[in-house]
């Protein structure tokens, strides 16, 4: 007598999950995408973790360049001039990151982001790695149990991230400063401006932002302004993944440039003043 293997059932009672006896039915190079994204995400995690604990080379005083990884800097431990919003937290011990106010918010916003969920699940969690590829996990409970239930907090991180974006915009305005204290433009100013633009695109194209603009409206005709905003965000939303990855690289580039100039590896290329 032969028995048919039992397929694992979904946690939501929607029937059995697909059981594939072969490791994969794919004949293309499907591993390239998840491995590439995993490498990018891991590099960003390692790089940003190292940088937030360095506590140096994050501000270029003559031109007002402040890296986004340390903004806002709200401690008396921050170098003079880098605290654009005062220092309400006093001195920080050496083991506490100076960017503590914003970094958990930004990290939470990206980790819970729908695009990064897909990338993380396929590349790091391997569930699923790709279509028609064997599931490595025997059980699936979705985002209903710890720790993945944390993903449902994304909309709240969006509200906080929107505030941090305003802080980044304010930092970008400070970056257009000349050596004499007046208006000036340098390569760092332009790099910071590009980074803020990418961050604005990433934040504005967020699914939570689209929902806030018009997701709950029953009659668009009664809310023409919100309808226009919802339409604009909907167009940006189709590029959300592009903004997500682009903003990762612009944050790294901005931080690396400011670190290099602050450390004296080279001088900022001045365009005006």
Is 2 inside any structural domain?
A: no
Is 24 inside any structural domain?
A: no
Is 140 inside any structural domain?
A: no
The residue whose two tokens read 């790099």 is 191
E strands along the chain, which residues? 59-60, 65-66, 185-186, 270-272
- Identify the domain containing residue 163 by its residue range: 32-134+145-272
Sign of CA dihedral 48, 53, 69, 59: negative
For residue range 12-59, what is the model confidence (pLDDT) as tens digits? 455 555 566 666 777 777 778 888 888 898 999 999 999 999 999 999
DSSP state of 215: I
Q: Kind and range of the H or E element at 173?
A: helix 154-174
Is 8 inside any structural domain?
A: no
Is 118 inside any structural domain?
A: yes
CA 221/CA 101 separation, integer angstroms = 40
Is 26 inside any structural domain?
A: no
Q: How far is CA 267 from the centre of its chain?
A: 29
Sign of CA dihedral 120, 123, 126, 128: positive
Packed helices 187-204 and 154-174: angle between N→C axes, nearest 10 degrees:
160
CA 177/CA 164 separation, integer angstroms = 21
For residue range 166-190, what is the model confidence (pLDDT) as tens digits? 999 999 999 999 888 899 999 999 9
DSSP state of 228: H
Instruction: Give me the number of domains the chain comprises.
Output: 1
Which structure tokens are listed for 262?
């602050």
Indicate the pairing of strand 59-60 with strand 65-66: antiparallel
Q: Exposed e or buried b for every residue in 90-106, given b needs 16+ CB within 10 A?
A: eebeeeebbbebbbebb
Is 170 inside any structural domain?
A: yes
Least confident interval from 21-25, 89-93, 244-248: 21-25
DSSP state of 26: -
Q: How confident is the model at residue 79 (pLDDT cuts 50, 70, 90)?
A: very high
Is 1 inside any structural domain?
A: no
């Amino acid at each position: 007598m032969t028995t048919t293997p039992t397929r694992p059932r979904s946690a939501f009672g929607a029937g059995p999950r697909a059981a594939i006896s072969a490791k994969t039915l794919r004949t293309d190079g499907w591993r390239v995408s998840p491995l590439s994204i995993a490498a990018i995400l891991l590099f960003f995690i390692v790089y940003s973790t190292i940088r937030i604990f360095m506590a140096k080379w994050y501000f270029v005083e003559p031109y007002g360049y402040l890296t986004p990884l340390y903004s806002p800097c709200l401690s008396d431990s921050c170098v003079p001039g880098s605290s654009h919003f005062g220092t309400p937290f006093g001195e920080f011990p050496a083991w506490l990151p100076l960017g503590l106010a914003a970094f958990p918010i930004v990290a939470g916003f990206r980790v819970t982001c729908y695009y990064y969920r897909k990338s993380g699940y396929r590349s790091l969690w391997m569930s699923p790695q790709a279509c028609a590829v064997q599931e490595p996990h025997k059980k699936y409970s979705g985002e209903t149990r710890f720790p993945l239930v944390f993903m449902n907090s994304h909309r709240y991180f969006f509200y906080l991230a929107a505030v941090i974006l305003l802080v980044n915009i304010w930092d970008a305005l400070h970056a257009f400063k000349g050596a004499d204290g007046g208006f000036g433009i340098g390569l760092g100013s332009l790099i910071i401006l590009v980074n803020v633009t990418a961050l604005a695109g990433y934040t504005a194209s967020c699914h939570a932002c689209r929902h806030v603009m018009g997701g709950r409206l029953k009659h668009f005709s009664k809310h023409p302004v919100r309808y226009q905003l919802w339409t604009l965000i909907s167009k940006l939303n189709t590029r959300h993944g592009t903004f997500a990855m682009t903003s990762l690289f612009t944050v790294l580039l901005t931080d690396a440039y400011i670190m290099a100039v602050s450390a004296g590896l080279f001088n900022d290329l001045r365009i005006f003043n």
